[in-house]
């Protein structure tokens, strides 16, 4: 259950005309129901309370909106103007219905796990899709040693390693051969990228697992969270990856169930 919001922060990363039109439509219909809408990225909003974040665009836009929602500890929902719409559930023609249900407390909620990465400098960064450890030099493999709950597991020679959440299982992890995972599960999915190893399959861990990745050679490793660079690791440096201490709350109209979303995303109707 969620508290009916008063002030809604909107996030639009795409300057396309159709996106701007939908943003204006959303603001108009929201105002008619008594909601206040503001730009979630505006500098003046940093110290202003927001009750809900709405991403207008594609899945990338919603991912950015979800990061803001996670930081502010408020729910998030997406209006789909992208090509896939795996995360963004609300179509533009359904904005009015979504807002009416929002005002009536009639939307559903689901919480999705996050992933955290403890960097060598002591900072902890959070991701919603994945933590990626990848080579800095394109022609060179990296060598990464892995400890699972402080016990040595294995060492990979590969282009990189991915630790994904179930929500992120259909992103980079999938393209590297990882499984599609129902986001109602709480697991960590470790997928090697082009490994030079007999152990080339993904591994799924419980959310209580702590994974330590240590650079085993002089070849540096870049650590990214949801596509943003977090750190560059030198030989002997480590990053510790585990489930985040809290998830992200998504509001839902209940029409975007996991099997249907996967079928739509991957065009299984036409397979």
Q: Where is average pLDDT lowest: 6-15, 165-174, 230-239, 259-268?
A: 259-268
- Supply the pLDDT for residue 266: 62
Reported confidence tier of residue 13, pLDDT bands at 50, 70, 90: confident
Per-residue pLDDT band for 201 (boundaries 50, 70, 90) equals very high
| 262 exposure class (CB count in 10 Å sphere: 0-12, 13-18, 19+) | middle
The C-alpha angle with vertex 268 and arms to 267 and 271, in degrees rounded to 5, equals 100
- Given a cut of 90, is residue 233 above it in pLDDT? yes
pLDDT over 60 (residue 106): yes
Q: What integer pLDDT is reported at residue 87 of this predicted model?
A: 73
* Residues labelled as active-site residues: 59
**Mean of per-residue pLDDT scores for the chain:** 91
What local confidence, expressed as pLDDT, does residue 138 receive?
Answer: 81
- Residue 73, exposed/middle/buried by CB under 10 A (0-12, 13-18, 19+)? exposed
pLDDT tens figures, 44-88: 778 889 999 999 998 889 999 999 999 999 999 999 987 655 677
Contact 167, 128 (CB under 8 A): yes
Percent of the chain with pLDDT over 90: 76
User: How do the domains of the chain map onto residue ranges?
Assistant: 7-112+247-270, 115-243
State CA 140 to chain mean position distance. Answer: 28
The verdict on domain 115-243 having CATH code 1.10.760.10 is no
pLDDT of res. 199: 74
The whole-number average pLDDT for the span 167-194 is 95
Does residue 155 carry a pLDDT above 90? yes
According to CATH, what is the number of the domain 7-112+247-270? 3.40.50.10330
pLDDT in tens, 236-271: 999 999 999 999 999 999 865 666 666 666 666 655
In a 10 Å sphere around its CB, with 0-12 CB exposed, 13-18 middle and 19+ buried, how is residue 94 labelled?
A: middle
The rounded distance, in Å, linking the Cα atoms of 181 and 166 is 5
Contact status, residue 126 vs residue 225, Cβ threshold 8 Å: yes
The confidence score (pLDDT) of residue 81 equals 87
pLDDT value at position 58?
86
Are 94 and 253 within 8 A, CB to CB?
yes
């Amino acid at each position: 259950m969620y508290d009916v919001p008063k002030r809604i922060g909107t996030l639009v990363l795409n300057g396309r005309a159709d996106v701007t039109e939908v943003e204006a439509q959303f603001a108009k219909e929201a105002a008619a129901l008594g909601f206040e809408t503001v730009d979630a990225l505006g500098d003046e909003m940093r110290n202003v309370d927001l009750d809900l974040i709405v991403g207008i665009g594609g899945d990338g836009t919603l991912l950015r909106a979800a990061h803001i929602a996670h930081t502010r500890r408020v729910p998030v929902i997406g209006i789909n103007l992208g090509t896939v719409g795996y995360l963004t559930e609300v179509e533009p023609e359904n904005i009015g219905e979504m807002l009416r249900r929002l005002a009536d407390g009639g939307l559903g909620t689901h919480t999705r796990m996050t992933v955290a990465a403890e960097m060598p400098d002591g900072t902890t960064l959070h991701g919603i899709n994945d933590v990626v450890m990848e080579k800095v030099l394109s022609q060179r493999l990296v060598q990464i040693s892995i400890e699972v709950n402080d016990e040595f597991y294995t060492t990979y020679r590969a282009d990189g390693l991915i630790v994904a959440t179930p929500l992120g299982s259909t992103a980079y992890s999938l393209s590297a051969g990882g499984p599609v995972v129902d986001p109602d599960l709480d697991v960590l999915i470790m997928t090697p990228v082009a490994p030079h190893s007999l152990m080339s399959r993904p591994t799924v861990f419980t959310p209580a697992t702590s994974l330590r990745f240590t650079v085993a050679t002089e070849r540096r490793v870049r650590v990214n969270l949801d596509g943003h660079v977090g750190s560059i690791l030198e030989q002997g440096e480590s990053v510790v990856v585990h489930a985040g201490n809290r998830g992200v709350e998504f509001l839902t109209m209940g029409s975007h169930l996991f099997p249907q979303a996967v079928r739509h995303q991957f065009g299984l109707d036409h397979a």
